[in-house]
Structure 1
Amino acid sequence: MSATTTLHSVSVRPALPADEEALGELDRSTWSTLHAVVPRPRPPYDPFLDERHRPEDFLVAEAATETDPGGTRIAGYIRLVPPTPLACNAHVRQIQGLAVAAWARGAGVGRTLLRAACAEARRQGANRITLRVLGHNTPARALYVSEGFAVEGVLSGEFFLHGSYVDDVLMGRSLAP
């Protein structure tokens, strides 16, 4: 499918163990120097889901397309977790991964996942949500700002990637109504 594919519907649901293969494929296909601080995955691939990356930590976007309006496929995911195991930090959720398939980009899947993550964080009792994004990831930063996130800190030159120092930008927002 091309980047001009029309999506007829996008829905978000919790991930299931059966999604592992599709999520792993999506994660590998969306790897980019724009957001990755780890090397490109190479076979044999590690499991996508494990004891630290449980299905219940992920929301999955499914989309029906113009070529198959009756069926759906995974168009993206977002990972939402407590940032620490500390009781004094239990009011916060952190986004630790967001991926959208190339064929679904530009159709609002990332924004839909971000809004669903905020709603899920509220449902879990959180009143604040945070994330980290690389300083040179302009498209992601623009999306986060448009959804109410603000820069709350910058770790200047935190990563040395492909011959350049890259900032780690800390962003957050309130989940109060």
Structure 2
Amino acid sequence: MASDVVIRPARAEDEREISELLRSAWSRVSEPGPERPADAAVFDERHPVENFLVAERERRIVGYIAHAPASPLESNRHVRHVQGLAVLGSARGSGIGQALVEAVCAAARAGGARRMTLRVLGHNRPARRLYLRCGFTVVGVLPEEFLLDGAYVDDVWMSRSLSGPHEPAQP
């Protein structure tokens, strides 16, 4: 990762920049849902600001990652789930995505989590390669889960242990 990038916890005043990043990064390759309205809140009850990390370069947010408990069950509190990840188009390929994934895994581990999970669209090959590099493995696939622009797309579930060192997989 570029040495001029800082990963830090998000702050309430970051909401506008994160919203702009989300809108600029939206595509059918990475999102099964509709494009976000410009005035849609980023931080809310399901997505509190303390669950976000941002990548900042020259005081500008160039990436973010959000995580949350995998479910509201106490018996599942040891599992965290990646709720979203985006990197500004001009900053992609510089290691920011990997740094954000590793930082969120470290934060989850520090909070007592033992496992991190996520979902990724089957046709999003760059994201799948990133997660494999970060030690995630495919634990399930829901075939043809989404109909996007006339094509059926798989929903790929991935998971990574946080309780020990991991060996990055080769894409």
**TM-score normalised over the length of structure 2:** 0.92
How far the C-alpha of 1:81 sits from its partner, in A, is 0.6
Aligned pairs, how many?
A: 164
In structure 1, distance between residues paired with 2:92 and 2:41: 25
For 1:151, the equivalent position in structure 2 comes to 138
Counterpart mapping for 1:12-161 below 5 A: 12-43=7-38, 45-63=39-57, 71-161=58-148
Task: Give the superposed CA RMSD.
Answer: 1.3
How far the C-alpha of 1:174 sits from its partner, in A, is 0.6
How far the C-alpha of 1:8 sits from its partner, in A, is 4.6
In structure 1, distance between residues paired with 2:108 and 2:41: 26
In structure 2, distance between residues paired with 1:8 and 1:149: 25
Identity %: 52
- The structure whose Rg is larger is 1
Matched AA of 1:35: S
Cα distance per residue 1:33-86 (max 9 Å; x no partner): 10111112344x2112222211101001111xxxxxxx3210100001101010
Q: For the Cα contact (< 8 Å) 1:7–1:104, is it kept in 2? A: no
**Equivalent residue of 1:26, what SS?**
helix
Matched AA of 2:94: A
In structure 2, distance between residues paired with 1:72 and 1:124: 27
Matched AA of 1:41: R
In structure 2, distance between residues paired with 1:165 and 1:173: 26
**TM-score normalised over the length of structure 1:** 0.89
Unaligned runs of 5+ in 1: 1-5, 64-70
Q: For the Cα contact (< 8 Å) 2:2–2:95, is it kept in 1? A: no
